[in-house]
Amino acid sequence: MKPSLVSCIVPVFNGERYLGEALESILAQTYRPREIIVVDDGSTDTTPAVAALYGDRVLYIRQDNAGAPSARNRGLSLARGEFVAFLDADDLWRSEKLQRQIRQFESRPELDLSVTYLQNFWVAELKDEETRFKGHRLSEPVPGYVTQTLFARRSAFDRVGLFNESLKVGDPTDWFLRAAERGLATEMLSDVLVDRRMHESNMSMQPGTRRMTSRMED
């Protein structure tokens, strides 16, 4: 498959701390995508300046704050590739992520979408939490039915529809359920190809404990 076939979409809100690392992980892919689309969902920090450092290597689009599903949908409306892939601005792709998924479609032309396993990792400030979850399923590789692992034909969204912008969390789960209901051909790669960063601003809080539900769904 030619590099011109894949569009990478990066939704971001106040992502100045991690956006550069996310973009570098895309640029380091062994398969070069056609385009990288950064959709800034109304950031109030220096996210625009970080994106500007990459010049014409990324297409930067800004919109009023409307939530991650809206930002993903905006990226889809601009994508020119036959395939699309998504990466949250605080997460990372491993270098062979796109290439491994491209090969799935080469060997199975009937595929509509591919997902992979992912590995959670904790920032240094949450070292105590990382230690507490050692040996827990959250510290082990898990099947990634989340947008960060998703590699799909652009036409899959014509069949399934866009991400549900009315949902605050869980819009990826909603989309995958609709894809299953419509019988889209899906394949799971058992390799870990995405690293999902656990940090204070992407987890909701409950008295006396930290609850990771919202982060596990995005």
pLDDT at site 8: 98
In this predicted model, what pLDDT tens digit does every residue of 10-44 receive, in sequence order? 999 999 999 999 999 999 999 999 999 999 999 99
Q: Say if residue 215's pLDDT is above 80.
A: no
pLDDT tens digits, one per residue of 96-140:
999 999 999 999 999 999 999 999 886 756 666 646 666 666 667
- The DSSP element (H or E) to which 35 belongs, if any, is strand 35-41
Contacts of 50 (CB under 8 A, 6+ apart): 15, 16, 19, 20
The pLDDT of residue 159: 97
For residue 189, which amino acid is it?
Answer: L
- Which comes out higher in pLDDT, residue 204 or 52? 52
Task: Count the alpha carbons within 13 Å of 68 in the hemisphere toward its beta carbon.
Answer: 23
What does the block give as tokens for 106?
């080469």
pLDDT tens for 134-180 read: 666 666 789 999 999 999 999 999 999 999 999 988 999 999 999 99
> Model pTM?
0.88
pLDDT of residue 168: 82
- Characterize the bridge pairing of strands 142-143 and 113-122: antiparallel
In which band, very low, low, confident or very high, does the pLDDT at 195 lie, cut at 50, 70 and 90?
Answer: very high
